[in-house]
Amino acid sequence: MNDAYSIVCPIEPTDPRRTLELDSVAFQKFRGYGLVPDESLSALEQARPLALVALAMPDGVEDRVRAVADLWMWDYVFDEHFFDGGLMQGNPAAACNLVRPLLHLFECPEYAQPAPGSWEAALQGICKKMESLCGPGELTHWASVTRDMFVAFAFGVSFGQGEARPGFRDTLRLRMDTTGSKSFLSLGPYMNGFALSDRELAIPEVKAANQACSVLLALDNDLLSYDREKALEKGVMVNTVEALATQEGICANEAAERIIIARNQTMALYLRLRHTLEQKASREVVGYLDTMGNWVRAALDWSLATLRYRSFADQASFGSRLHLVDTGPELLDLAQGGSIWWWDLPGVKSLNPQPTPSANRAPASAGERFQLRH
């Protein structure tokens, strides 16, 4: 039976026997860069971060999956070293200067000339390897959303600098970028060995499914990593649970319960979108949506098992009570009309109360609101 801490995911889990062993090779390559102390990598290795990629892409083209594993490894350690490690804390300018040279790599990798032995040089090598395995322009969409991810890292550092703390919805929008979900979801076709056209990516249901899965990955990460972040974060937590608790003046456990309602509705929305597209879309589009679901399920299975989060379990926290429920989609009835966007879900709307209009001024007319000023 479902309860307040049930994370619903009817997506079939991947059989680990079908997955590649990626961690050992990826860590060996990263050690060769000499970017962080070996003891730091040894601690990270216990979390087996590449197991997530292996679970998410059991049917991917092997050399492409291994190239993406190297990218995941770089992203994982970069985030852990600079942002989770607190080196950027309270210094948005330093964060901007850190990510700025990386942005050029995604615009034109062959033009950038990073210093040997730098983070940029390591990333350039990974990007060139990925490009060598595909056709021209195949990674253009990925490069665009990944640039957004790095900019979001800098935004995240400045997020809590103002007097007013950002609320749930603004925090979620940022987390959809800083988790890297959009970046790695966009690599699904690449790893499976096919490409999607701009027209296919622009199908409203495809865009909505991508958004829904980004929301799922962000919320699941914030729920499952909350105890770890609470113990280690030195400044303002960029976490949707913390944001809602602060916004509403409630405890984290109550915030988590309310977020889980919205999260489970978002899962139902993704399943409905996938079912809709199965009836009319191409095999490649359907495969893209299946890959999105695999990422969500893999992230849950990995997060519930990894020592990265389990070692910080707090028995007084909601984190110790989170559990996965493999219920059927029929038990996830949205009962909310035909919208395809996550922000229209009842659970999400309840987390974002609309501000009341000012008593001193009536709302502007449509003509006044949109009149051009010269």
What confidence tens digit (pLDDT) does each residue in 11-51 have? 999 998 889 999 999 999 999 999 999 998 998 898 899 99
- Comparing CA positions, the residue from 228, 104, 254 lying closest to residue 239 is 228
Q: Residue 369: is its pLDDT beyond 60?
A: no
How do residues 204-259 score in pLDDT, each as one tens digit? Answer: 999 999 999 999 999 999 999 999 999 887 667 899 999 999 999 999 999 999 99
Full-model pTM: 0.90
The rounded distance, in Å, linking the Cα atoms of 9 and 300 is 9
Residue pair 94/221 in contact (Cβ under 8 Å)? The answer is no
Query: What are the start-end ranges of the H helices in the chain?
Result: 23-33, 38-45, 50-56, 62-78, 92-107, 119-132, 140-158, 168-178, 181-185, 188-192, 198-201, 204-224, 226-232, 240-248, 252-278, 283-305, 307-310, 346-350, 366-369
Backbone angles phi, psi at 200, to 5 degrees: -70, -40
Report the pLDDT value the prediction gives residue 327, as an integer from 0 to 100. Answer: 77
Q: Count CB-CB contacts under 10 A for residue 25.
A: 15
Is residue 90's pLDDT more than 60?
Answer: yes
306-330 pLDDT, tens per residue? Answer: 988 988 988 889 999 999 998 755 5
Distance CA 230, CA 212 (A): 26
The confidence score (pLDDT) of residue 51 equals 93
Q: Are 77 and 44 in contact (CB under 8 A)?
A: yes
